[in-house]
Amino acid sequence: MQVTARSQATGAWPNLFVVGAAKAGTTALHNALSRRNEISMSRLKEPHFFSRPLLHPDAEGQIPVIRDERRYLSLFDARMPIRGESSTSYLPSAEAATRIRAASPDARIVILLRDPVQRAYSHYLNDVRDGRERRPFPATLGDLGEPDERWGSAASRLRLSLYAEDVRRYLELFGKRVAVLVSEEIADDPAAALRELEDLLALQRDPAWTLEHEHPSSLPRNALAARALAAKLPRRIGRRVVPRRGRAFLYSLALSARKPGLDPGAARELWTYYRDDVRALEQLLGRQLPWPVTHERG
The set of long-range contacts for 127-130, using a CB threshold of 8 Å and a minimum separation of 24, is 127/152, 127/154, 127/157, 128/219, 129/217, 129/218, 129/219, 129/220, 129/226, 129/229, 129/255, 130/62, 130/229, 130/230, 130/235
**Sign for the pseudo-dihedral over CA of 119, 160, 244, 220:** negative
Residues 186-216: pLDDT tens digits?
999 999 999 999 999 999 999 999 998 765 6
Residue 268 — φ and ψ, nearest 5°? -65, -40
Residuewise pLDDT in 10s, the chain (298 residues): 665 544 443 468 999 999 999 999 999 999 999 999 999 999 999 999 999 988 888 777 778 899 999 999 999 999 999 999 999 999 999 999 999 999 999 999 999 999 999 999 999 998 888 888 889 999 999 988 888 888 888 889 999 999 999 999 999 999 999 999 999 999 999 999 999 999 999 999 999 999 987 656 665 555 565 555 555 555 555 555 666 556 555 555 555 556 788 999 999 999 999 999 999 999 999 999 999 988 986 5
Q: Is the pTM of this model over 0.95?
A: no
- What pLDDT was estimated at residue 239? 54
- What pLDDT was estimated at residue 8? 40
CB contact at 8 A, 92 and 160: yes
**Which of these CATH numbers, 3.30.70.420, 3.30.70.250, 3.40.50.300, 3.40.47.10, describes 6-219+256-291?**
3.40.50.300
- What pLDDT was estimated at residue 92? 95
Residue 76 — φ and ψ, nearest 5°? -120, 150
3-class SS at 10? Answer: coil
